[in-house]
Amino acid sequence: MNIVVDLNRCQAYAQCAFLAPEVFELHGEEALLYVPAVPEDQQERVHRAAVACPVQAILVGGAAGADVR
């Protein structure tokens, strides 16, 4: 499972950093750093973070190009 955060949209409400602190972290006051390839044991937390994001900036999905042959 991969994520990407639309950081144009992100306004540092930090809900994600509370719900999945091993994946999302505020760097300084409002710069968000995150782990794009979500570890298996964090997936449930990341799903919750994506739903909770007030500006809906977190996109969750399978790895793009997984069907590369």
Partner 1 sequence: MSGELRDGRIVVVGASLAGLRAAETLRDEGFEGSLTLVGDEPHPPYDRPPLSKQVLLGRVPATGTGLPARRPVDAQWKLGVAATGVDGIGKRVFLANGEEVPYDRLLIATGTRARPWPNPAEAALDGVFALRTSDDAAGLAERLDAGPRRVLVIGAGFTGSEIASACRERDIPVTVVERGPAPLVGALGGTLAAVAAEMHRRHGVDLRCGVQVTSLEGDGRLTGARLSDGSTVEADVAVVALGAVRNTEWLAESGLAAGPRGVTCDAGCRAFNMYGIVTDDVFVAGDVARFPHPLFGYQLIALEHWGNAVAQAEVAAHNMVSAGPFRRPHLAVPTFWSSQFGHNIKSVGVPTYSDQVVVAQGSLREARLVVVYGYKGRITAAVSVNRAKWLDYYQNLIETAAPFPPEPGAADRTAPMIPLPSDVPDPAVLSHGPTVALTGHLPDRRLTLVRPGG
Binding site for partner 1 (CB under 8 A): 1-4, 6-8, 10-12, 27-37, 59-69
Q: Cβ 16 to partner 1, closest distance in Å?
A: 15
In angstroms, the CA 7 to CA 58 distance is: 9
Q: Read off the tokens for 15.
A: 């809900």
C-alpha dist (Å) from residue 43 to 2, 23, 31, 48, 49: 9, 10, 22, 9, 10
Nearer to partner 1, 13 or 52 (CB): 13
Cβ distance to partner 1 smaller for residue 12 or 52: 12
Both tokens of 60, joined, read 């969750």
* Nearest distance in Å: CB 57, partner 1: 11
Of 5 and 19, the one with the shorter C-beta distance to partner 1 is 5
